[in-house]
Structure 1
């Protein structure tokens, strides 16, 4: 089957970035009109979406291999920089993970492009905005299609640059500039560990590829495979080499996916335009860490299974921390930001609980469940979280504020936004017949198979999720209407360009949820990891553990009922009483448990004072002093020799005669 057209999936958004961006950067005289720039960007991403769906249809309907798994194909592979046996390749890899991510990225990005026509209408820098959106989309597509770790890292950094540009889009606002720099610095710090891990991995294995065997790369007609890693070199160097490299790469993924304690950049990233928040949180930047671990999963399982416990406990703590903070936030975008952190942590935990069973590297069905559930939740979360963020944009567009105090009673003014927002809240809460129920239930089931403690811990976090999301829902659409604010501008429903993406994404959320709950469309056996699945026999298929499903549903319903009891009414005496009873706890959660202040203390009071300033003093007084002394010495030596080169013949004669007399006296004294 021919997949040569897949190169267009990367080239079209790159071309869109250049076509829109270059004239705009040349000056207003050459820039496209707002409408033309938007149409170029949206049409190019629309074509990418069509090509992605064609690729997915061809790939998933093609005959499977003899062992029941899907082929991994490489339509393009170009050796960019050969360094002996170690070389840097650029190419396109099509496997179940990359094809699924094509659907997620292209769908959400296309909806964001359409939505931005209405949301960004009249904004200064409209052309620049669409150019950056195209660059962002191309970067993430390149990341998931990468054939090797180094190519992934290249696009990984492009994603970081794109996020910096889009978060700081309103560069006239100090908060936006500060947020963009914060995101850039924190993720670059984490990426340093990612790069170190890649270099260790490449040095000891002799390759940057994702696997130690070539069995998962099946050659189709016209396709090429790439070289594989040599595990023996790493094993000979010591059993700690590969676990160390993988953990270092996980730190890079934790930074990009905002895992604790590298999460601090993500809430501030809300200073960017709301459609950008939807793109970052739903389908691009924050899922990069999950994709990285899923890509390297066979190596994790075979050579560093115990290190997976790090992923489990970092993810479990992050999920709880972010949910606790979300319960106290008043800015609706920051509630959704911490919700994203918590949900990404669910995906991390699901990957981490996939530990080998009794057969070494061979995974039994229960262990495979977590891997499948993680990717399944990535897919469902992308759709309903994009819907939530875009819905938040409609609300902000209507009331001109991010704070819940400016909202309340909006359901009568914004029926479409209300309905789609409610659907997404039910999905993330894990209510049956909505997509989040199916994927989250599978994660919790996998957690219980790992340990009772992790299972109940994640069930508790799921209950907190349902609570804070319906606290948000009631605070926006029910409660007391802010009549004083509404007297100046009556809220109204967003235009069709903004409501259509909400409807489309909510239809996917309901459709996937209904199919999976009723027992159809359940085969996610494509969510496999090559030879390990084959060795286990068959890939895992979505199913329900009735006890876990019923328990999680009951807990979610109780959480929603509790949020309804506390926040639905016009007055909220219980919430006020809780605040007065536990003011310090609320303050800590509202201030994100002072993690930003901790970072400021560590950087300013410790690193700057005891590291940066001594280094600065050494640089200024010793390094610069030595350089200045060398320059002074050379200058003084030149000045001392300068009289000898005056050009005065009489002075030369005096020096000649003086030297001759001195030499004569020396010779006479010796004789």
Structure 2
């Protein structure tokens, strides 16, 4: 049963991809969706057997690599952490598959699209079920490959090509850091199996390594490399640029990438390696700083975006910052709780956005929409539910996890040196709530409530989506309302033992008790900020509609407004400081000096011409007259005779034989 959860999506992908031309679009849709739905049902059963009964299941399939002490097997680990991720991945993937049947019905390459979706799901399942780092890295790279194929699905579009390459290259930076972490783990622990690594971590607490004259703590260095991998996959500040640009793929792809698969891989890695991170307080501090900066940066950048899907993408980046922030506070279970909750309302937002885009003839600029409430009331209702869940409105799914993270930020206690930075990080995380609420309701106003800016011919064809597209939205909206309430006590309730040994937290890092003792004012602060964001967005859209077009800002305020509107110039800085110098080096040094210089002079334009020159001389010497040949033979005999006389002391039979052979050859 457990292996079927993994291999059913693989089977569906292979048959849909290679047999799609014989199955046809309808046959491919039915078969691929059936495979992933059965996998999701089996995941629910595994959640009951493993999670609710607090057991662990390990499966050894066969050996894979064996070279000296390096041994890797095909093995699978099913614990509470794994089965929770399985439910989230397979359930969201099933709904995305079902949604794609109607959304992609007019695309001639729909079988290929469904195949890519399933192989994406398979590699993510491989990532979360692996019991060793090498097998996990296989799923890690497979997810990156599948994301490239899906973002570049419409490969005739230049924007899709550029976005896919950008995502692939940006993730290669994080993957390089993760690969260094895996190599260092094997060097230290002499194994890549989770069970061996986690059991030996306390024994290496005080081990150091010397590199370039610096004495570095081994566990801190390993954790740093793992976090670099998480920065790439989970789009933390510095390697976040690929995430908004990934919107060039079809909308179901965006829902799958942002809700349940690729972007959650980095967060899952941090949670899985909690036994190692707990012994690296420096990395935990870095996680808090990076998470808070990412949450604030993405939230404030989303305020000035006009693309419907790009706004939701920046909200994903912001929520990922909260998850990493929570991991830095050693609240891994809260981070995973928010990950599961986020999957429902983020998939709901993206699929609702797809419904809107599908209805308005593929228009994505919110400024060209408006008044869609009259034409699409059901889509408006479910998107409003997703928006309220995103901002943490009371008693919806996001409220139980996001607000809990913000409460935990108020209970941190570190050294005096770090206290300023921790307070600053808490302030950033709290202020992000206001901006998230503002841009979320700005999206609602521009898309559904304001006066329409659509062309008349577009208004005539706007209609509510079909039942095949609406059904996943209804299911996700129900999850966005009730999942947080139903699972809170199970995942993060006081005294729950659901996670068992899958998550490790040192007793000194536990801050749950302090969070329960916070004052009511602090607990209500996120809701107050969310409410202020809603009111400010309403004021701007109703009474101050020229706010974005003619801002009454001067000097420094105007500069910051323009800076945020240009996404803080991250792309420009990377292009000028990294990309262009590398291209210049590749052309001026690698190409002109090495390729065209050294290699060509020693090859086609050097040695070849030298040989050709002497061959022409030798051709001219072949005159065909015996007198010329006798002259060269006598001349050569005299030349070598002189050499023999000069070196008579070192004369030997082998030397004489060599000269005679050369003489007769000439």
Match in the other structure for 1:74: 58
Residue number in structure 2 paired with 1:263: 240
Provide the C-alpha distance between the structure 2 equivalents of 1:663 and 1:425, rounded to a whole number of angstroms.
96
2:333 to 372, 383, 390: 372
Match of 2:441 in 1: 470
2:498 is the counterpart of 1:526: yes
Q: Distance in 1 between matches of 2:16 and 2:383?
A: 33
Give me the whole-angstrom Cα distance separating, in 2, the residues matched to 1:196 and 1:538.
Answer: 30
1:234 is displaced (CA, Å) by 9.0
Q: Deviations over 1:404-444 (max 9, x none)?
A: 12221211211211111111111111111101011012211
Residues 480-503 of structure 1, C-alpha deviations (whole Å, 9 max, x = no match): 123644665342111111111111
Q: Indicate which of 526, 529, 534 corresponds to 1:555.
A: 529
Q: Distance in 2 between matches of 1:16 and 1:121?
A: 18
Structure 2 Cα separation of the partners of residues 525 and 541 of structure 1: 16
- Work out whether 1:97 is the aligned partner of 2:76: no
Q: Give distance in 1, aligned partners of 2:627 and 2:17.
A: 72
Unaligned runs of 5+ in 2: 211-215, 413-421, 649-666
Query: Which residue pairs with 1:219 in the alignment?
Result: none
Equivalent pair of 1:212/1:299 in contact (CA under 8 Å)? no
SS at match of 1:92: strand
Q: CA RMSD in A?
A: 3.2
Distance 1:541 1:48 in 2: 38
Q: Contact 1:347 / 1:378 at 8 angstroms: preserved in 2?
A: yes
SS in 1 for 2:281: coil
Alpha-carbon separation, structure 2, partners of 1:538 and 1:583: 43
Whose Rg is larger? 2
Question: In structure 2, what is the equivalent of residue 218 of structure 1?
Answer: none
| 2:65 counterpart SS class | strand
SS in 2 for 1:449: coil
User: Deviations along 1:308-338, whole A, 9 cap, x unmatched?
Assistant: 2222111111111111110011111000011
Select 1:110's aligned residue among 91, 94, 109. 94
- Of 454, 458, 463 in structure 2, the residue corresponding to residue 492 of structure 1 is 463
* Partner-residue secondary structure (3-state), 2:75: strand
Listed one character per residue, the Cα deviations across residues 494-530 of structure 1 (whole Å, up to 9, x for unaligned) are 1111111111011011112444689999466434655
| Structure 1 residue aligned with 2:275 | 298
Report whether the alignment pairs 1:567 with 2:544.
Answer: no
CA distance in 2, matches of 1:649, 1:198: 74
Cα distance change of structure 1 residues 631 and 408 upon mapping to structure 2, 3 Å threshold: same
Cα distance in structure 1, aligned partners of 2:647 and 2:42? 98
Alignment partner for residue 295 of structure 2, among 319, 327, 341? 319
- Structure 1 portions without partners, runs of 5+: 25-29, 65-70, 216-227, 355-369
Separation (CA, whole Å) in 2 of partners of 1:114 and 1:663: 89
Correspondence list, 1:224-373, <5 A: 232=204, 235=207, 237=209, 239-302=216-279, 304-354=280-330, 370-373=331-334
Closer, same or farther in 2 for the Cα pair 1:295/1:612, shift >3 Å? Answer: farther
> Do structure 1's residue 596 and structure 2's residue 568 form an aligned pair?
no
- Cα distance in 1 for partners of 2:338, 2:240 equals 20
Please give the per-residue CA displacement for 1:73-108, whole angstroms capped at 9, x wherever unaligned. Answer: 312353211121122232211112111100110011
Structure 1 length as normaliser, TM-score? 0.86
Deviations 1:257-289 (CA, angstroms, capped at 9, x unpaired): 111111111111101000100000000111111
8 Å CA contact 1:168–1:272 kept in 2: the answer is yes
Relative to the length of structure 2, the TM-score reads 0.86
Partner Cα distance (1:75, 1:667) in 2? 79
Aligned 8 A contact 2:345 2:389 in 1: yes
Matching residue of 1:156? 140
Shift of 1:231: 5.3
Give the distance between the partners of 2:447 and 2:100, measured in 1 at CA. 22
1:204 offset after TM fit, Å? 2.4
Which moved further from structure 2: 387-396 or 601-610? 601-610
3-state SS, counterpart of residue 79 of structure 1: strand
> CA 1:657 to 1:275, structure 2 compared with 1: closer, same or farther past 3 Å?
same
Cα distance in 2 for partners of 1:111, 1:667 equals 91
**Which position in structure 1 is the counterpart of 2:397?**
435
CA distance in 2, matches of 1:617, 1:81: 42
1:543-588 superposed Cα distances (whole Å, 9 cap, x missing partner): 855633322222212221222222257x725565646666544433
1:431-490 per-residue CA deviation (whole Å, 9 max, x = no partner) reads 111010110122112222224433332111122111111111121111112364466534
Matches within 5 A, 1:12-23: 12-23=8-19
